């Protein structure tokens, strides 16, 4: 089934076999994977490197999370949205501790999930050591999650007694 690549003398067009096309696709995919691997390695190295004095470790800018309200079983249409988090911004520097306090249902757990990228933000940016973590996946995201921890309202069940807090 292998065709021979030939060039049409009149038009100058060449015919490419299906095998050649498959090989070209594989080469392009390998090059893209190598570039993605290099970018991931750079991000992981930046995340694992120490922060310079005075630089924020965590920066959050205009973080928004709206959960859609839908109606209908077969054809779901959006009739509104619950604004769980609406435009939160803060900086966290080395040596600081952040506590999010508020009424029940005000979005504390949603902010924590957004910071861990367990939920996708509707809008806004989250930078950890200068890297936008909302766009990370795979190995780079795993490196970020190793360094950020959520502690929920009952600290006795959230904390490991063998590890220190500070």
45 domain residue, yes or no = no
Q: What angle do CA 55, 59, 65 make, to 5 degrees?
A: 180
User: Number of folded domains in the chain?
Assistant: 1
44 domain residue, yes or no = no
The pLDDT assigned to 124 comes to: 92
91 domain residue, yes or no = yes
CATH number at residue 83: 3.40.50.300
Please choose, from the candidates 141, 39, 134, 124, the residue with its C-alpha nearest in 3D space to the C-alpha of residue 88. Answer: 124
Q: Cα–Cα distance between 112 and 114 in angstroms, integer?
A: 5
Please choose, from the candidates 60, 153, 165, the residue with its C-alpha nearest in 3D space to the C-alpha of residue 101. Answer: 153
Burial class (CB in 10 A: 0-12, 13-18, 19+), 43: buried
39 domain residue, yes or no = no
Phi, psi of 43 (to 5 degrees): -65, -45
**Confidence (pTM):** 0.63
The pLDDT assigned to 88 comes to: 92
Q: Give residue 124's domain range.
A: 56-157
| pLDDT per position as a tens digit, 118-156 | 889 999 999 888 888 888 778 878 888 877 777 766 666
Highest mean pLDDT among 12-26, 48-62, 84-98: 84-98
87 domain residue, yes or no = yes
């Amino acid at each position: 089934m292998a065709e021979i690549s030939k060039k049409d003398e009149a038009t100058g067009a060449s015919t490419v076999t299906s095998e050649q096309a498959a090989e070209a696709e594989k080469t392009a995919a390998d090059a893209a994977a190598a570039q993605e691997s290099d970018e991931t390695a750079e991000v992981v190295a930046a995340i694992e490197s120490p922060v310079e004095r005075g630089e924020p470790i965590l920066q959050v800018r205009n973080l928004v999370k709206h959960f859609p309200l839908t109606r209908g079983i077969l054809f779901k249409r959006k009739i509104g949205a619950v604004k769980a988090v609406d435009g939160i911004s803060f900086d966290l520097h080395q040596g600081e501790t952040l506590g999010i306090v508020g009424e029940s249902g005000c979005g504390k757990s949603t902010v924590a999930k957004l910071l861990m990228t367990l939920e996708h933000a509707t809008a806004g940016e989250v930078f950890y050591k200068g890297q936008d973590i909302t766009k990370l996946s795979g190995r780079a995201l795993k490196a970020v999650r190793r360094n950020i921890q959520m502690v929920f309202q009952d600290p006795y069940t959230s904390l490991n007694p063998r590890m220190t807090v500070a």
